[in-house]
Amino acid sequence: MSWAEHKLGEFISIKHGWAFKGEFFAEDGKYLLLTPGNAHETGGLKLRPGKEKFYTGEFPDEFLMKAGDILVVMTDLIQTAPILGGAIVVPEDDRYLHNQRLGLVESLPNRTIDKTFLYYVLNSSMYRGQVRGSATGATVRHTAPKRICDCMVLIPDLLKEQQRIGAVLGAYDDLIALNRRRIVLLEDAARRLYREWFVHLRFPGHETVPVTNGVPRGWVIKPLSDVAPLNYGKALKATERKGGKVPVYGSSGIVGWHDAAFLEAGAIVVGRKGNVGSLYYSHVPSFPIDTVFFIKPETASFFLFLALHQLNFISSDSAVPGLNRNYAHSLPVLIPNGEVAKMFEHQVSPLFEQMHTLDTQNARLARARDLLLPKLMSGQLDISGIALPEEAAA
């Protein structure tokens, strides 16, 4: 077997998505509109309960995706473009819509490449670096079908070898995807409980508690500034985010690792630039950088984390993209009495602990996969004798 360098355009073409109309966007529905926000930095589909866009209008049938379709990110709102060019795989038929910020990967006739292997090519550092290097735009970064197709990648000449590489890497991602689905279900359960208690006001004992103007007796509405002030993250150079065990949080989530934290476990991170209003709860000591705000652990809680998801952090009066702290501080938060708050924390804490356990397992799996990926995709490592993902996760 031998490996050879090829242009991606020898095997695939990229088809633009459709411009879905904003007037038909909805919070729920049959058809989920995929966006760049549905891509993980390392590739793969990221579902976002409570933040998804659904579409209720008419659309051409060709933009309704099938299971196994591969989409690549064509636009990244973050200057460093961590997701640009990355690939996701559609998990089921007749559910997901293909919008114009994503490109559909289509195989060329008479050219054979294993689809799973191709997915990992599109998430390899060799390819992604070329996409970022050819991107346009100073703040919002864009790529194009031709730029993607011009990228040079290494491909083994034997289809069987492509399939073996795809199968090994796919086994890791299958376990990661399973854990992510479980996390989504746990997140959804926590959100539903929050809405039941604090939006619909069907909390334990609600039958005997008078409600005035939407506020149960003994509860209060306070501005966020009085509940949990937002603090600025600290600047940290990209070169200092490559070592250590402390997660570095940016507006897109964990963007690296550092050797020292400045916050204890339990902080809440709020996206300030880039992915404005994004929310993360850190179960371990952390280092939020200057693209985010943070809420100190002594002020944070699972209740507050879920309450923040109900707030609209995007001000229509702001001409500059970003989270205005004064505006965010003015947003109202409904605060229950101490007994209800304590009961709620007791109910949701096990859900968040399970999410943290699954996240930790996924981090181990991802590290093992990411060590294998560049070596397998460059032909440096023989596929035989590689540990199964179950062993790597143990």
Minimal CA–CA distance to 35: which of 112, 89, 97? Answer: 97
Sign (positive/negative) of CA torsion 15, 21, 22, 28? Answer: negative
Residue 7's pLDDT is 95
Residue 1's pLDDT is 58
Domain spans of the chain, in order of start: 3-157, 220-335
The whole-model pTM stands at 0.72
Residue 392's pLDDT is 43
Asked if CATH classification 3.90.220.20 holds for the domain at 220-335, the reply, yes or no, is: yes
Mean pLDDT score across all residues of the chain: 91
CATH superfamily, domain at 3-157: DNA methylase specificity domains (3.90.220.20)
Residue 391's pLDDT is 44
Residue 393 has pLDDT above 50, yes or no: no
Q: What are phi and psi of 95, to 5 degrees?
A: -130, -35
Residue 175's pLDDT is 92
Residue 368's pLDDT is 86
Residue 268 has pLDDT above 60, yes or no: yes
The residue that leads in pLDDT, 238 or 122, is 122
Residue 388's pLDDT is 62
DSSP 196: I
The CA distance from 115 to 112, in Å, is 9
pLDDT in tens, 270-321: 999 888 899 999 999 999 999 999 999 999 999 999 999 999 887 655 555 6
β-strands 75-76, 141-142 pairing: antiparallel
pLDDT in tens, 147-174: 999 999 999 888 988 998 898 898 998 8
Residue 317's pLDDT is 54
Residue 143's pLDDT is 96
Residue 307's pLDDT is 97
Minimal CA–CA distance to 313: which of 372, 344, 268, 369? Answer: 268
